[in-house]
Amino acid sequence: MSILETQDCYRPQRGVRGWIGGRFIAWAPALLGLLRRWKPILHLFSTWVVTRYDDVVEIFETDAAFGVTYAENLDVITDKQPFFLGMRDTADYRRQLAGMRTVCTAADLHRLADDAEARAQAMVDATDGRIEVVGLVRPAAFDTIARYFGVPEPAVGSLSVWGSRLFEFQFTGSPADKVWLADVEQIAAAFRVHIDGVIAARKAKVDRPDDVLSRCLTLQAQGAAGYSDVEIRTALLCMIVGGPPQPPMVLPQALEQLLRRPAWLAVAQQAARAGDDGRLWAIIQEAMRFDPLGPGLKRIALQDWTLARGTSSARTITKGSNVVAAFSSAMMDARRIPDPKRFDPDRQPHEYVHFGHGLHICFGLQINKATMPRMLKPLLARQNLRRARGSAGHLRKNGLFSDRLVVEFD
């Protein structure tokens, strides 16, 4: 079978390597807790691991000293076309960001949320009282976002598989792994060709739907800068790669945390049944704090920089060093997060750094806030929501990524 037709959304983590990776992910919170207490800025070979809230935020806020590391992997995905995720704070960065904000507006959020809930509702209604949660969230997320951006499914392959595979490479892969690189190059090339075809077909239409692609083409026709066919393709590609893989990672993890806390699960279900989406998001966001997207985000030191200056833990990070800003640890730092082990959906906004902070905060943050609770809402509204019996009823991961969680309801 061609890699373009695989049904595996992520590379299977098998054997000794998979076991070691699984144990590391399971032990990461405890290990990061020890570092936070005893060695908050750890130098390990050419990498620094930073675990306290103030220091993690300092990294995110000091873009002149700590740059993003995404450009090399993005070049593989985009065929070396620039995209703002991989850029420093330059005029091109701000131009691209403004260009996407022009076509992705807050006015769209209500429609996106309604669409996400309708898709999830249809899948829940079609079951016999038993559903696998990753398989619920993934199509709801990809179908909603792909429709919004104007990209239909390819004739061969799947947007959810292609997007997830490229997301995995973008944030965890390396071009040095030649086997992995070959797979990614094939998927990325097919994805680019597919979007090129979608753009050409849309241009030939007189009546166009109101989606991001149509808005881009309207601006292109008006002569606006930043909306060439290649720039539109790159933006659509990166948005589908960067956005919809997130909900099927974190929402099953959030539900797992709620299943461990029956009282809070009941509160979440009450909010779902009452249609209180704001309260439901607050509960889901807090559940995600106990198992977020990943342990940390990578940066590279662009200059020598003394981190935590003026404190006993201050260390000078030299130019060229790799840095891991452990945002998962930051959200458990009692120095800034009151009683961090307590489940509290009424925390202040600054206590959450799920989606980064500063210049490179997740572009889709508001979309996530609008759509994520609505994807779980139809399931949470059901009576007697519970784990399936046996191991199926407990979250299983494939490396960093949620793989399977089965629940039942009446």
The residue ranges of every structural domain in the chain are 3-408
Per-residue pLDDT, 236: 99
**306: buried, middle or exposed (CB in 10 Å: 19+, 13-18, 0-12)?**
exposed
Q: What is the pLDDT of residue 19?
A: 81
Rounded to whole angstroms, the Cα distance separating 258 from 397 reads: 17
Residues 261-303: tens digit of each pLDDT:
999 999 999 999 999 999 999 999 999 999 999 999 999 999 9
What is the average pLDDT value for the chain, to the nearest integer?
Answer: 97
Q: Which residues of the chain have pLDDT under 70?
A: none
Query: In a 10 Å sphere around its CB, with 0-12 CB exposed, 13-18 middle and 19+ buried, how is residue 18 labelled?
Result: middle
Q: What is the pTM of this model?
A: 0.96
pLDDT tens profile 92-138:
999 999 999 999 999 999 999 999 999 999 999 999 999 999 999 99
Model pLDDT, residue 24: 80
What is the side-by-side strand order in the sheet with 322-325?
Answer: 41-44, 47-50, 322-325, 297-301, 66-68
Confidence (pLDDT) at 17: 73
pLDDT of amino acid 22: 80
Quote the pLDDT of residue 14.
Answer: 78
Q: CATH assignment of 3-408, given 3.30.590.20, 3.40.50.2300, 1.10.10.60, 1.10.630.10?
A: 1.10.630.10
- Residue 1's pLDDT is 73
C-alpha to C-alpha distance for 133 and 128, rounded to whole angstroms: 14
Determine contact, residues 297/356, Cβ cutoff 8 Å. yes
End-to-end CA distance of the chain: 39
